[in-house]
Amino acid sequence: MVQIIDPKYKDADYQRQVTARRRQKGKRFQALGIAALAVAGLMLAALLYSIVSNGARGLMEDRIAVEVYFDPAKIDPKGTGELSVMRKFNYDTLVYPTLYEALGIKAKGRSDRDKRRKVKQLIGLGASNQLREMVVREVGRDPISDEAILVSGGTQLGDTVMVELTALSTSANPYTQTLRDLGMLHTRFNGDFFTGVNSNDPGYYGILDALVGSFWTLLVCFLASFPVAVLTAVYLEEFAPRNLITDFIEVNINNLAAVPSIVFGLMGAFVFIFVFGMPGGTALVGGLVLSLLTLPTIIVAARAAIRAVPGSYREAALGLGASRQQAMWSFVLPSAMPGIITGTIIGLAGALGETAPLLFIGMVGFQSGIPLTPVDGTPTLAVGIYNAFGSQFDELKNQLSNSTIIVLLVLLMLLNGTAAYLRYRSEKRQ
Amino acid sequence: MSDDEIRMSCKGVDVAYWGELAIKNVSMDILSKKVTAFIGPSGCGKSTFLRALNRMNDTIDGCQVTGEIKLDGNDIYAKGMDTVFLRQWVGMVFQKPNPFPKSIYENVAYGPRIHGLFRTKSELDDIVEQSLMGAGLWDEVKDRLRNPGTGLSGGQQQRLCIARAIAVNPEVILMDEPASALDPIATRKIESLIKSLAENYTIVIVTHSMAQAQRVSDKTAFFYAASLTEDDDSNLIEYGDTDQVFNNPIDERTRQYVEGAFG
């Protein structure tokens, strides 16, 4: 029994004071908490606003519809009819005269030079390629002479064709509105973004290769890390003797999780590419490098999940004469599986957003189309954000970069949502 | 009781955790098809000794068992003894009902499956039915064998665990306070079940309830923890017929304990 010496403890006024002070403290703490939450919320809102406002714009594109006369005198002035000659022409120059005429700009002379430059900014490198492909296409290379194998694109010289081209940097261009009023420029959904592949020309940039590359990379990453991580966790939790070696391994697994990812990139470049001779810049190497990052995440999650399995299952199975392996496979592992899968998904979500180590092993700047296998060179979505932005600031590139971020974030939300759902379901079952 | 057959015999058994004795020099014979109760205050080592009887202590780090425990004349701590077989012969029911997170049927079928005790599905069905009947649970669950075992009431779960234990056809069943987590009615059912099981099995039960020990057991062993550090040569203070231990104890500490003076 505690002796209360100070009589004021029984005083009603004193008790009121203490209660008021305690409530005030509680309120202060609550206010601090709300303030912290508000700051975090504002930051998130700012981030989302920047991404969505830019990214949504990148999902739309401006198109210029223009009649193009494939002038034989310009494309093939000597009249040779050779595809290799036609291929060398800068086709974008065919577009300008029509645009100058529509906008009332003189095609020659000093006075309108700045205006002509503005118009040219609307038409990118991709437009030239698009028009060239209408006339002449490269379908491959001769294995002996290494010369390009060319075929006709279908359009004959002398034809006049209505063509739609992607317009670049339209919001800063003074002629955008005029062209729109003339009915030559309109805005539409940027389908190329989802069906196209990495391109230097932001007008033709797409993420399909990066999307497929990300899929292959995550698949390799999962296949390489999941079995290893689960077996490691099972062994460490259930079978390993407690001694210095296992303690050492345990500490180092946690260390592995703290190593900056770029270090794994350098290591991957050396070990996988130079030592084992795997093809650089591929999903295979990328997945293996990322598996080093996801490994500790999955191991830690799996060990926690295994430890959380009620000991009574194990005991009951052992009491019936099951071996430790049997108890493990029949009860412990199945009960721990939701937790292990949740950890795996979180690990893979981290890998999906990883960029630095992939740049190191050369998963960047590929323009080789959609990777059909894990051993094709490919970027991933996260690298795609970097690719889209490029080395120079450009309005459209910035928008495309943000659009890629949106796609990445949606995928991350799907992954994390799956993890949350699995967690919820396993909690409900218990 | 001179014609009683000895099922398990223990001689000079010590159990230590990290070198610290939990059981000191216990020698006793466990009789076939009888119920033997282990009583004693908390921490006296009765559960530890029970778990030594089917080597469940093997899974605990730092646990060391010395002395000799024989099942039908075979040393269960001998080198060639496989714990898988041992635990098939000496089954166990735990304090808290611990059915597997599987169906009622699968709970009972798990043991026969891992030991390969059947050839056809119908043989397994028979084993499951007989085991559930043996545990007095069949009538209550025969229509919902595919329901999860965890959905049963506490008393039913414990009887499911008993059914699971007898499904592998053991000779001895160890029960570690099997009714301590149950209400009085469920406890009564378990107790009468224990008595009927004794017709076919040797049963060793740890209990905190003096009344339960008196109701179900033929033999009673009284363990006492303080003896571990005192001069006594064992912490098994008294072992004899239940009637004698409760009504006419030899040792003064046994008398005090069964009269409720401490515990």
| Chain B residues touching A243 at Cβ < 8 A | none
Quick one: A147 and A218 in the same domain?
A: no
Write out the DSSP string of chain B.
-TTPPEEEEEEEEEEEETTEEEEEEEEEEEETT-EEEEE-STTSSHHHHHHHTTTGGGGSTTEEEEEEEEETTEETTSTT--HHHHHHHEEEE-SS----SSBHHHHHHHHHHHHT--SSHHHHHHHHHHHHHHTT-HHHHTT-TTSBGGGS-HHHHHHHHHHHHHTT--SEEEEESTTTTS-HHHHHHHHHHHHHHTTTSEEEEE-S-HHHHHHH-SEEEEE-GGGGTSS-S-SEEEEEEHHHHHHS-SSHHHHHHHTTS--
Q: Is residue B263 part of a domain?
A: no
pLDDT class for B152, splitting at 50, 70, 90? very high
The verdict on A315 and A410 lying in the same domain is yes
Position B204, amino acid: V
- On whether any CB of chain A is under 8 Å from the CB of B91, the answer is yes
Note whether A403 and A259 are same-domain residues. Answer: yes
Question: Which one of A189, A218, A253 terminates a domain?
Answer: A189
Residue A96, classed as helix, strand or coil, is: helix
Q: How many domains does chain A have?
A: 3
Report if residue B180 sits inside a domain. Answer: yes
Strand partners, A150: A138
d(C-alpha A296, C-alpha A302), whole Å: 10
Closest-approach residue (CA) in chain A for B102: A331
Q: Does residue B1 fall inside a structural domain?
A: no
Note the pLDDT tens digit of each residue in A278-316: 888 899 999 999 999 999 999 999 999 999 998 888 889
**Best CA proximity match to B137, nearest among B172, B97, B101, B173:** B97
Would the CA dihedral through B97, B102, B108, B114 be positive or negative? negative
Can you tell me whether residue A11 is helix, strand or coil? coil
Q: Which residue in B27, B3, B35 sits closest to B242, CA to CA? A: B35
Same domain, A125 and A261: no
Residue A331 and residue A277 in one domain = yes
Smallest CA–CA distance, residue A326 to chain B, in Å, is: 8
Residue B66 lies in a domain: yes
Q: Which residue of B has its CA nearest to A326?
A: B114
- Tell me, what's the ipTM? 0.85
Look at residue B43 in the predicted model and tell me its pLDDT: 84
Q: List chain A residues with pLDDT less than 70.
A: 1-5, 7, 365-367, 391, 428-430
Token pair for residue A124? 């990118």
Q: What is the pLDDT of residues A209-251, one digit of tens each?
A: 889 999 999 999 999 999 999 999 999 988 888 889 988 988 8
Residue A45 lies in a domain: yes
What pLDDT score does A128 carry? 85
A173 inside domain = yes
- Nearest Cα to B214, choosing from B225, B224, B222, B226? B222
> Do B110 and A242 make contact, defined as CB atoms within 8 angstroms?
no
Q: pLDDT for B105-115, tens place per residue? A: 999 999 999 99
The mean pLDDT value for B136-151 works out to: 92
Q: How far apart are CA A347 and CA A206, in angstroms?
A: 27
Name which of B59, B61, B168 is nearest A320 (Cβ-Cβ).
Answer: B168
Sequence-distant (≥ 6) Cβ neighbours of residue B157 within 8 angstroms? B97, B98, B99, B149, B150
Whether A53 and A68 share a structural domain = no
pLDDT surpassing 50 at residue B120: yes
Residue of B nearest to A311 (CA): B98
| DSSP classification of residue A123 | B
Residues sharing a CB contact under 8 Å with residue B243, sequence separation 6 or more, in sequence order? none
How far, rounded to the nearest angstrom, does the alpha carbon of residue B55 sit from its chain's CA centroid? 12
Shared-domain flag, residues A27 and A138: no
A236-295 residues touching B, CB cutoff 8 A? 242
- A373 contacts chain B (CB < 8 A): no
Residue with tokens 């099922």: B7
Q: Could you tell me the two tokens for B134? A: 């043996």
pLDDT tens digits for A307-359?
999 888 888 999 888 888 888 988 899 889 989 999 999 999 999 999 889 98
Which of chain B's residues have a Cβ under 8 Å away from the Cβ of A322? 84, 110, 114
Burial class (CB in 10 A: 0-12, 13-18, 19+), A9: exposed
pLDDT, one tens digit per residue, over A244-253 is 998 898 888 8
What is the C-alpha separation between A114 and A413, in angstroms, rounded? Answer: 47
Is A321 within 8 Å of B114 when comparing Cβ atoms?
yes
Exposure string (b/e) for A187-223, b if CB count within 10 Å is 16 or more? eeebebbeebbbbebbbbbbbbbbbbbbbbbbebbbe
| B17 at A interface, C-beta within 8 A | no
Are A165 and A264 part of one and the same domain?
A: no
Number of domains in chain B: 1
List the structure tokens of A270. 């050396």
Write down the pLDDT at residue B242: 94
Question: Are A215 and A364 within one domain?
Answer: yes
CB contact under 8 A, A319 and B115: no
Number of H helices, E strands in chain A: 18, 5
Nearest to B210, CA basis, from B162, B245, B159, B174: B245
| Inter-chain residue contact B86 with A321, CB threshold 8 Å | yes
In a domain, B100, yes or no: yes
Sign of CA dihedral A25, A31, A33, A35: negative
Closest CA to A397 of A406, A407, A386: A386
Are A300 and A253 contacting, i.e. CB atoms less than 8 angstroms apart?
Answer: yes
| Residues pairing with A61 in the sheet | A188
CB contact at 8 A, B194 and B216: yes
Q: Is residue A115 domain-resident?
A: yes
How many other CB atoms are found less than 10 A from the CB of residue B125?
14
Residue A156 lies in a domain: yes
Residue A316 to residue B100, Cβ atoms within 8 A: yes
- Find out whether B100 and B149 touch, Cβ atoms under 8 Å: yes
Q: What is the pLDDT of residues B59-116, one digit of tens each?
A: 788 889 999 999 998 999 988 888 888 999 999 999 999 999 889 999 999 999 999 8
Write out the residue range of the structural domain in which residue B196 sits: 6-258
**β pairing state of A185-189 and A136-141:** unpaired
Q: Which residue of B has its CA nearest to A242?
A: B61
Residue B89 inside a domain? The answer is: yes
Q: Specify whether the CB–CB gap between B15 and B48 falls below 8 A.
A: yes
Distance CA A68, CA A127 (A): 12
CATH number for position B198: 3.40.50.300
- Residues of chain A by 3-state class (helix, strand, coil), percent to 5: 65, 10, 25
- Is A346 inside any structural domain? yes
In-domain check, residue A198: no
DSSP SS3 for A63: strand
Domain limits for position A300? 208-429
Q: Is the predicted pLDDT of residue B1 greater than 50, yes or no?
A: no
Judge whether A369 lies within some domain: yes
Asked whether residue A19 falls in the same domain as residue A111, the answer is no
B156-207 per-position pLDDT tens digit: 999 999 999 999 999 999 999 999 888 999 999 999 999 999 999 999 999 9
Mean pLDDT score of chain B: 90
Chain-centre distance of CA A362, in angstroms? 16
Q: Do A253 and A304 contact (CB within 8 A), yes or no?
A: no
Based on the domain organization, do A340 and A389 belong to the same domain? yes
As a whole number of angstroms, the distance between CA B44 and CA B64 comes to 17
* Residue A201 within a domain: no
- Rounded CA-CA distance A328/A231 in Å is 11
Q: How much is the pLDDT for A4?
A: 63
At A185, which helix (H) or strand (E)? strand A185-189
Chain A: closest CA distance from residue B61 (Å)? 9
pLDDT at site A5: 66
Element (H, E) at A153: none
Separation between Cα atoms, residue A40 and residue A29, nearest integer Å: 17
- H helix or E strand, kind and range, residue A214: helix A208-234
